Amino acid sequence: MTRLSSLLGAALLLPALLTAQTTPAGRPPAAPHRSGTPAVKAVPAAPGAATDSNAAGPRAGQFAGLRFRGIGPAMASGRVGEVAIHPSDKNTWYVAAHSGGVWKTVNGGTTWSPIFDAQPSYSIGTVVIDPNNPLTVWVGTGENNSQRSVGWGDGISKSTDGGRTWTNVGLKESFHIGRIVIDPRKSDVVYAAAMGSMWSPGGDRGVYKSSDGGKSWTQVLKPDNEWTGAYEIALDQKNPDVVYATTYQRGRRQWGFIDGGPGSAVYKSRDAGATWNKITRGLPAEELGKIGLAVSPVDPNVVYLQVEATTRAGGFFRSRDGGQNWERMSPRTAGPPFYYHKIVADPKNVDRVYSVDVQIQVTEDGGRTFRSIQGRSMHVDNHAVWIDPDDTDHLLVGNDGGLYETRDRGAAWHFFGNLPIAQFYKVSVDNATPFYNLCGGTQDNNTLCGPSQTRNGHGTSNADWFVVVGGDGFQPRIDPTNPDIIYGESQHGELARYDRKTGERVGLQPQVEPGEPASRWHWDAPLIISPHSDTRLYFASQRVYRSDDRGDSWRPISGDLSRQLDRNTLDLMGR
C-alpha cells in the first residue's frame, strides 16, 4: 500500500509546485502541520523507475518539486471507527478512521493533526491509549467490519511518544484488528483480537497475547477453522486475569458473503488467556454470526452480548454471574450486524448500554428495551462510542459521517466539521477556468465537487464544496464542454444529471422494456462520456446502454454480457 494510495482514500489531494529551498544552518525544522488538512511529503519514485533523460516515462527527480496539498472536504467527513481519550487530559483525543488514518487533537477537536500518514496502512480498526502511560498508543490496522469496500491493514503499530513515531510490532497477516486491550496492572501485557482476511482463509487469527509490550506475540485462543478470527476482547477490570473474547467466522467474495458459521462463539479465560472455555448456557444453539461484547465497569459479573444467529435466535443477552448463564433480554440485534454490533457499557449505570447501529441505541433496563438518541441532523451508521467516566452525559460518537459530541446524553449534538477523512472511491476533473474542479464519489457521503484552488486567502473551505447526488457516490462524470453539467451515481445504478447553474437534478437510470429481465446493477456501475460526443453516455448493468441526449433516453447496445451463473453454486469458504 503506497503512501499515495493511502492518502487519496482519505481526502482529495493535489500536487503543488514547490520552489527548491533548504533550511538555513541553525534554524529548526518547521513545526508539525496542525490545520484541518494534512501536509504530505512528495511520493518517492517507484523502484526501477527510468533515470535516463531519454527513457520513456517519468524520469527520476521529475516530480521532486511537487508535494500534495489537502483541499478537503471536511463538511462530510468520513467513517470514524474508534475514539480514544487521554485518561487525565480530556482535551487529547485520538480518532481512528476506517479509511483515513489516525488523527489527534490536543484541544478538544478545535484543530487536528494526522499522525499515521507515514505508515503503510490507511485503514484503521482500533486505537487505544495505555492507561498507565498515556504517551503509549496502540493502533490496530484494517477496519473491523465486513462491508463491501473494506480496507485491510498490516497488523499492530505502537507509539511511545504520543503518536510522533510508530513501530510495527507484528501480526502483519491479521489484515483486520477487532480490538486491543491492555492489562491495567502491567502495561506490557496486551491482548489483540486478530480477525484475519475477509477474502481468504488463514493468516493471523484468534486472540494473541504479548507479555513484553509487543516484542513478541503468542496465540492464546485458536479459532475452530481457517475462516474464523477474533472480533472482541474484554477484561474484568477488577480481576484482569478474567478475559472474555468472541470469535467471528466470515467470508466474502465478489458474488456473495457468508456472515457467520460454526466458528463464531463466546469464550472466557480465568487465567489470563492460558486456558479458555466456550460459553454456551442460555445462548442460541444455532450457528452464530458477529457477536458484540461488553463487561460492566460497575459490576464485572454483569456481561452483555449482542448476538447474531440463524433462525432469528439472536438478540441482546445478559449474564449476572460472569458468563456462566445467559438471559435473552430482547430480540434486538443491529442491522445488518456485519457492519455494526459493538456495544458499550456505561461506567456508572450497570443497566445502561449503548449499541451502535444505523441509529445509535441505548437501553436503560439491561437490554429489555432500547431507544434511539440519534440527532435529527446527525449522520447515520454508527461505529464508535466513548463515554466520559466522570460525566456520563458526555459522549463522543463516530459514524460514517464523522465525529459527534453530546454533553446531555443525546439531547443535542455537535458535529466536528474540520476532520477531512471522506473516503473517495473515484474522482473526475472538469475544464473550468481559471481553476478546474474535482468531483468524487464517496462512501455514504454523496458525490461531492469542489475547486482545485480558490482566490480566498484562507484557502479552500467547506463552503466551496457542493453535493451532486446523495447516497454512496461512485463514478462521477463531467461534461467536457460545460462544467456545470455533472453526472453522479449512487448504489445499484441510481444515475442522475445535475445542472449546477439551475440546481436541477434529473434521474437518468435506464429502464427495461416490458417482458425483459430486470437489470442487475452493480454496487458501483460503470459510466463514461464518449470522447467523440459530449452528449453520448455509456452505462452498464449486465447490459451496456447508450444515450445520445445526455441520458434523457437510452437504448441497449448489448445483450446480457454476464456468464449467467447461479452464484449460489459458486465456492464460498471452500464449499
Residue with the larger pLDDT of the pair 34 and 358: 358
pTM: 0.90
pLDDT of residue 112: 97
Centre a 10 Å sphere on the Cβ of residue 463 and count the other Cβ atoms it contains: 10
Query: pLDDT for 127-163, tens place per residue?
Result: 999 999 999 999 999 999 999 889 999 999 999 999 9
Distance CA 105, CA 186 (A): 27
Query: pLDDT for 236-250, tens place per residue?
Result: 999 999 999 999 999
How many alpha carbons fall within 13 Å on the CB side of residue 48? 0
Task: For residue 67, name the pLDDT band (cuts at 50, 70, 90).
Answer: confident
CB 80 within 8 A of CB 404: no
DSSP string, 484-501: TEEEEEEGGGEEEEEETT
pLDDT of residue 236: 98
DSSP string, 44-63: PPPTT---STTSSSPPTTTT
Q: In angstroms, how far is CA 397 from the centroid of its own chain?
A: 14
SS3 state at 531: coil
Task: For residue 438, name the pLDDT band (cuts at 50, 70, 90).
Answer: very high
pLDDT of residue 65: 85
Query: pLDDT for 165-182, tens place per residue?
Result: 999 999 999 999 999 999
pLDDT of residue 42: 38
Centre a 10 Å sphere on the Cβ of residue 32 and count the other Cβ atoms it contains: 10
Mean pLDDT, to the nearest integer, of 361-370? 98
Per-residue exposure over 242-280, b if at least 16 CB sit within 10 Å of its own CB, e if not: bbbbbbbbbbbeeeebbbbbebbbbbbbeebbeebeebe
Query: In terms of Cα–Cα distance, which of 249, 295, 248 is closest to 268?
Result: 295
Task: For residue 14, name the pLDDT band (cuts at 50, 70, 90).
Answer: low
pLDDT of residue 13: 67
